[in-house]
Structure 1
Amino acid sequence: MEFINFIAEFIRSMGIGEQISIVTGLIYIFLSVRQNSLCWPFGIISVGIWMVVVFQGRLYSDAILQFVYVVLGFYGWHQWLRGGINNKPLKVQKLDRKLGIRLFALGLVTFIPAGYIAEHYLQASYPWWDALTTVLSLIAQYLLARKYLENWILWIVADTMYIGIYYAKGWAGYSGLMAVYTAMAVLGFMHWLKSYKADRMQECRCE
């Protein structure tokens, strides 16, 4: 009973925008783990509200990230429904080495100038951490949109960092949400890996 009262008080302490963003965000991550394409509209609503909150908190890189999330949300929605062979829904796939190297290189050349600009021109809070989590999250979101299994590994790393960043900013609600996201990312990896193996076995039987 005390735990329920704590949760209720915790939710009441948040602004209405934060409450809506967190609820829709939780629905989004739950449905994405389940590979349900309805996750995307909930995700778009969540990050749209989140974008306003973090911009007001001067996490400018994160605000830009949320805007890109909105765009990638529509892209991912389309990909999950018709991004597979013959416009069929996508199946879980693994990241090949060539694309992995390209994404790593892109992330590296993006992180350095993003961190420098955030620190010296935007006076952002925690500029280098903000830039690093932004780059990791962008790559992870692209991989999620294309149903690459490895997206969950990047989310685990990025969300763990966000727990500390948001807590330091005084956003306990978002910090707690990131802790849930981290746990869900672990579950997502396990669930998608099982799905990937099942699809591969099915393909072998059909050959």
Structure 2
Amino acid sequence: MDLLQWLFEARIPVGSSSLLLREVIGNVFGLLSVLGGMRRRVWAWPVGIVGNVLLLTVFLGSAFGGAGTVDLLGQAGRQVMFIVVSVYGWRQWQAGRQAAGSAVTPRWASGRARIGLVAGMILGTVALTPLFRALGSYEPVWADAWTFVGSLLATFGMAKGWVEFWLIWVAVDIVGVPLLFSAGYYASAVMYLIYGAFTIIGFAVWTRERRRAEARLVSAVDAPVKQIQ
């Protein structure tokens, strides 16, 4: 109990202010999950879940004794969403590794799926903004809703193995960083900036792997033809 109390109350001094230790630790776990996802490692999912649990307690500051902190309901809600979708992704990648020896093979989303992702981002943000506002989320509420919906779609895209999920994260970070800075969650804001760099790298890595997979497929098709000739 003493350890748990320490974890909830511990702060890291930064100049004249301080950062919640659990916010920093939660984001470190999140970064490790991103690195694991880039390398298509199954452990990326459970590591991410640990970070989600810690960050859930951060963004519901008033519920966990965070005097002087604001509640970001979209950020808090997306941690719950992350946990649910991560369980799905964990199972998908685990099954893929058992069946094909690889957790997931990156692939491009279909045209219909891409339209669905864009429409989902826009319509989801419009639909959730008034709900989050009614619940008392921090302004601008639309930004909180945008990061929630984008995070849901990006995590689902990662579970499906769509290369485009990295680009959704870029869209989330562009809005999420200013929101977190304005709300006073500086550790998360800085970590979002770092995430942004890794999402661009991740997109390049997954794109390269997809091209390699396509090249291997072409070679496998051409091999029997060459043998016949």
Query: TM-score by structure 1 length?
Result: 0.88
Report the CA distance between 1:61 and its aligned residue: 1.9
Distance 2:29 2:14 in 1: 17
> Corresponding residue for 1:122?
135
1:3 aligned partner: none
**Per the alignment, do residues 87 and 33 of structure 1 end up closer, same or farther by CA in structure 2, a change over 3 Å counting?**
closer
Match of 2:108 in 1: 94
Residue 192 of structure 1 corresponds to which residue in structure 2? 206
Identity among equivalent positions (%) equals 23
2:9 aligns with none
CA distance in 2, matches of 1:94, 1:78: 21
- Aligned pairs, number: 199
Letter in 2 for 1:74: V
**CA–CA distance in 2 between the matches of 1:108 and 1:161?**
13
What is the CA-CA distance between 1:162 and the residue it aligns to? Answer: 1.3
Residue 201 of structure 1 deviates from its aligned partner by 0.5
Alignment partner for residue 170 of structure 1, among 141, 163, 184? 184
SS at match of 2:60: helix
1:131 maps to what in 2? 145
How far apart are the structure 1 equivalents of 2:57 and 2:108? Answer: 34
Instruction: Name the CA distance, whole Å, in 2 between partners of 1:104 and 1:35.
Output: 24
RMSD: 2.2
Inter-CA distance 22–86: structure 2 relative to 1 (3 Å threshold)? closer
Which shows bigger deviation, 181-190 or 155-164? Answer: 155-164
Greater relative CO (CA pairs within 8 A, separation 6+): 1
- After TM superposition, the score normalised by the length of structure 2 is 0.80
Instruction: Give the alignment partner of residue 156 of structure 1, picking from 160, 170, 173.
Output: 170
Unpaired segments of 5 or more residues in structure 1? Answer: 1-7
Secondary structure class of the residue paired with 1:112: helix
Kindly name which structure, 1 or 2, has the bigger radius of gyration based on alpha carbons.
2
SS at match of 1:14: strand
**Aligned partners of 1:84, 1:108: CA distance in 2, in Å?**
34
